[in-house]
Structure 1
Amino acid sequence: MRISTQAFYGQSLYGIGSQQQQLFRIQQQLSAGTKFLTPADDPVGAARALRVGDSLAQSAQYTTSRGRATLALSQEEEALKSATNILQNMKTMVVQAGNGTLSDADRASLATAIQSSLEQLVNVANADDGNGQFLFAGYKSANPPFVMSGGGVQYMGDQGQRLMQIDVARQMSVADDGRSVFQSVQGGAGYVSSASAANTGSGVFGAVGVTDATAPLYGKDFTISFAGGNYTVSTNDTPPVVAATGPYVEGTPISFGGVQLSMSGTPADGDSFQVATAKNAGTDIFASIGELVSALRQPVAGGGDAAQARLKNALATANVKITNAHDNVLTIRSSVGSRMNEIDALDEAGASRDLIDKAYLSDIQDLDPAAAISQFMQLKTSLEATMGTFAQLNGIALMNYVR
């Protein structure tokens, strides 16, 4: 078969060009460190790599979100820690105020100290994240949630929960609203007793004890009224239901609605006492502290047993309310800690998932340098041989053999 010169040149150049193209492609792969330079090189592998890459990018975003959530929760935890310390210090001062050796001036000094602690607590409740966003304001985070006005503290925020997407199927609250923290009590909080401001006798209530939580009237709010040496316990319903009646005997517990209350002193006719569930007895810790300050500033000297009774009852009520508020803050603080632990667990799971995805992505697209270099050398040797052969064949001519 005869081969024309044109065909010889064309075929030879095509072969050399094809080998050069393959060699150039291997060079590009070695430079990029990937098996395919365009999706067309491996459509299936490119699609898989794209999916894995998207998964890694999404995981990185969740990691960033978890970092922000951890920062927000850490700031809230610090604020709650400060609130816990302030409330604990207030409980100590309430106990100190009950010391019978204190004078009116001593109690006034304690009232000033407690008022200062109240202002500190308001400042803690108005803590921000350093960027002008208030921690306990709910959705209204641009403005301070608590405002002192008219001798009281008003909540100006809302009860919105600021949620953050921290994983594929997990949204987490990164802040608690101020009403839930400072103006609420836990569901397990017991009864709170208080005395009417109009009482003139020396009756002092003790702690409320639960005797039968299954009693029909258990969980109701009660009023204990005194007249003619007898007591009457009625619910605060409309119309009221009489829960118990009987002669008052100092030190003998009064039982009603599944609870009992011991009393000392001598209540006067018309005196009354409230025994209410914690959620109905006033859950605003700021208001409770304000009432305590007012009670401590009222003179006791010269007021007789009635004045002493008013002070003791006010301190007992304040102690229970501050304890309930303290327990509520501790519970929310525990919730914050649990959320931070969950974030740590999600971080560990996310890191493990990223390692798996990165290994899979490497298998899909990363080039094996040793194999690629070996292939490069083979193609280079083949190209050199082809070019050498072409040069030798190109030099053959009939006239070289004519003598």
Structure 2
Amino acid sequence: MIRITTANAFNSSIENLQQRQRSLDTAQTQLTSGKRVLNASDDPTSAARAERARALIQRADASQRAIDASRNSMKLTESALGDGVSLVQQARELVVAAGNASYSDAERRDVANQLAEIRKQLMGVANRGDGTGGFVFSGQGSSQPPFLDRPGGVGYVGVGGAVKVATDEPLPLTLDGEQVWLSAPSGNGVFTTAPGAGSGGAWIDAGRVTNPSAITGSSYEVQFSVNAGVTTYSVIRDGVTASISGADFKSGQAIELDGMAFTLSGSPKDGDTFSITPSGPNQSVFDALDKVVNELKTPLRTSAQVTQTIQSGLRDLDTCANQLQSARSMTGEVLNRVDGVETRVGDLKLFGETTRSDAEDLDMIQAISNFQNQQTGYQAAMQSYAAVQRLSLFDYIK
């Protein structure tokens, strides 16, 4: 038979009461904070899972900031390229108007002045700032405007290339301005046609490719000869080989050779020459405008020379406009990709939030039920303690 003393009963009741009070306090704290795991010691495994989830969320937040920066930058770039395309289109319309046969030298000079103003606006677009001290087309960064108007033409003084944000899926912050504004393909993209010095009786079109596999990449020169009123031409390849010799010339009739076709029109003079050279990625929208402006300002030019200026100018402006439009399309694709990356980053963050919540958050319904049970148990323990406290010898003596 075990003897239970009054002191032992009192101590047991107090310990039970204190334990239930601690449990009730813990339940109340969890209910108030909404967290099941308040300290790592509460559940080390769940605490570690929650910590890894928080790190994942932080990486997702950093990626989102990078995405926002890329989106804002690409929106500025797309807007600038749109302005550039619009200005080049205005310039093209003016060049077409300058081809009016009824225009005088003074009227063509007025058109040239308007083109010069458009060129200034294009320089402003090319050197547009990004609002943070940088420039939209600065490539890998520049503290100064990336395009400089020099006596020999516009030069790029930025750093070539592009800056990308550091995310799992790199996104651009800038474009290579030199590639966009100064590196359009010359001519028709495969070869470039041009009149020789002093040629003023005929003009040549931009030409076209008839057989890509036959293109040689050589340089050609069309040489005209006029004898007794009969005009003939020869085509010299790389300065030594006669591809065509002494052929009769007919204005507006295409000349075909080595996968190329081009048309000469007008009345060429004896000794006139025209060149056909391979295209290169060196066509600048500013140089194209400068050439047209200078030629339209030159007085006393023949009708053939004016026509050549208009045709060459339209060809070059169209090439530059296509280059700008291609860059704009690429920027639009980047913006689409930014949206896709943002969706994936959002999904990753949601996964992290869900994992963290599963690891440490409280099931409120279960927590409320548990708190009520703890509260009931604590009240019962208090009543039990009160009952035991009255069971003493002195109570019976009374």
Q: Same fold (TM over 0.5)?
A: yes
Q: CA deviation at 1:216?
A: 5.1
On the 8 A contact 2:171/2:338 being kept in 1, the answer is: no
Q: Which moved more, 1:360-369 or 1:137-146?
A: 360-369
**Counterpart of 1:27?**
28
Q: Does residue 1:369 correspond to 2:364, yes or no? A: yes
2:390 is matched with 395
Quote the offset at 1:241 in angstroms.
4.5
Match of 2:220 in 1: 222
Q: Give me the whole-angstrom Cα distance separating, in 2, the residues matched to 1:399 and 1:329.
A: 104
Cα deviation, 1:126-181, whole Å, max 9, x if unaligned, reads: 00112221111212321101112326222211212111134x2x102222122111
d(CA) in 2 for partners of 1:400, 1:130? 88
- TM-aligned CA distance change 1:216 to 1:152, over 3 Å: closer
96-105 or 247-256, which deviates more: 247-256
> Offset of 1:359 from its aligned partner?
3.0
* Distance change (3 Å), C-alpha of 1:54 and 1:243: farther
User: Which digits, 9 at most, give the CA deviation of each residue in 1:262-292, with x for residues without a partner?
Assistant: 2122323332212233326x51221121111
Residue 141 (structure 2) aligns with: 140
Task: For 1:308, give the aligned amino acid.
Answer: S
Contact 1:191 1:275 in 2 (8 A): yes
1:320-339 alignment runs, 5 A limit: 320-339=315-334
- Cα 1:135–1:256 change in 2 (3 A) is same
Residues 1:241 and 1:134: Cα distance change in structure 2 (over 3 Å):
farther
TM-score by length of 2: 0.91
Identify which of 345, 349, 354 aligns with 2:349: 354
1:55 to 2:56 alignment:
yes
Alignment of 1:286-297 (within 5 A): 286-297=286-297
Distance 1:159 1:240 in 2: 39
In the TM superposition, residue 338 of structure 1 has moved relative to its aligned partner by 0.6
Taking a change above 3 Å as real, the CA distance of residues 399 and 133 of structure 1, as seen in their structure-2 partners, is closer
Q: Which deviations, in whole Å up to 9, do the C-alpha atoms of 1:173-225 show, x marking residues without a partner? A: 222122111112259834332112332x40211341322111152x4333222
Residue 234 of structure 2: which of 232, 235, 245 is its match? 232
Q: Does 1:94 align with 2:95?
A: yes
* Post-superposition offset of 1:109: 0.2
Distance 1:256 1:395 in 2: 122
Name the stretch that deviates more: 87-96 or 257-266: 257-266
Whether the 8 Å contact between 1:250 and 1:266 is mirrored in structure 2 is: no
**1:18 counterpart letter in structure 2:** Q
**Runs of at least 4 residues of structure 1 off by over 6 A?**
none
SS of the aligned residue for 1:269 comes to: coil
Aligned to 1:284: 284
Contact persistence 2:160–2:178 (CA under 8 A): yes
Contact 1:77-1:336 at 8 Å conserved across structures: yes
Structure 2: stretches of 5+ with no match in the other structure: none
Query: What is the deviation of 1:308?
Result: 2.2
* 2-structure distance, mates of 1:136, 1:114: 23
Aligned residues: 391
Q: Deviations over 1:224-273 (max 9, x none)?
A: 2234544332344xx75443333241233222221122212232333221
Deviation at 1:314, TM superposition (A): 2.0
- Measured in 1, the distance between the counterparts of 2:170 and 2:38 equals 39
> Relative to 1, partners in 2 of residues 1:185 and 1:240: Cα closer, same or farther, differing over 3 Å?
farther
RMSD (CA atoms): 2.2
Alignment partner, residue 160 of structure 1: 161
In structure 2, relative to structure 1, the CA distance for the partners of 1:366 and 1:204 (3 Å cut) is same
- Asked whether the 8 Å contact 2:67–2:171 carries over to 1, the reply is no
Q: 1:383 aligns with which of 372, 378, 382?
A: 378
Distance 1:365 1:132 in 2: 44
Equivalent residues in 2 for 1:250-269, closer than 5 Å? 250-251=250-251, 252-269=253-270
Q: Within 2, Cα distance between the matches of 1:385 and 1:365?
A: 30
Q: Which amino acid aligns with 1:222?
A: Y
- Cα separation, 1, equivalents of 2:50 and 2:347: 18
Contact 1:97 1:110 in 2 (8 A): yes
**Is contact 2:6–2:392 with CA below 8 Å preserved after alignment?**
no
Provide closer, same or farther for how the CA distance between residues 289 and 3 of structure 1 changes in structure 2, counting only shifts above 3 A. Answer: same
Aligned to 1:2: 3
In structure 2, distance between residues paired with 1:289 and 1:143: 24
SS of residue matched to 2:166: strand
TM-score, normalised by the number of residues in structure 1: 0.90
- Residue 127 of structure 1 corresponds to which residue in structure 2? 128
Gapped runs of 5+ residues in structure 1? none
Comparing 60-69 and 98-107, the one that deviates more: 60-69
